[in-house]
Amino acid sequence: MKKSLLATSAVLAALLSGCAAGEYAPGLVFTDRARPIQATDNKLGSKQGKAQCENILGLVAIGDASINKAAANGGVREIGAVDVHQWSVLGVYAKTNTIVTGE
């Protein structure tokens, strides 16, 4: 009994600490938040690029949510701001979108 409780606790800790649970004040059941990552002295501009990564159970991550990928997707050469939007349910499925704005 003690071993199964310890194993269950270890699995729950691993699931809740993985990137499917997010970082920076995630909700335990549901997370839907946007937050700033970076701002520069460059003009904010009218171009916007997005890049996405998906995660299942903190075990499988697919995609490229890097700033470089988002900038390339939007044709942004001079980055003015970088924001991230994170969405997750029960730490089972999560999406991260990086949004780059600039010229």
- Residue range of the domain that includes 41: 2-102
Tens of pLDDT, residue by residue over 49-102, are 999 999 999 889 999 999 999 999 999 999 999 999 999 998 899 999 999 999
What region, left, alpha or beta, does residue 96 occupy, with left being phi > 0 and alpha being psi -120 to 50 degrees? beta
State the Cα–Cα distance between residues 82 and 8, nearest whole angstrom: 38
Does the model's pTM come out above 0.85? no
User: pLDDT category, 42, cuts 50, 70, 90?
Assistant: confident
- The tally of domains found in the chain comes to 1
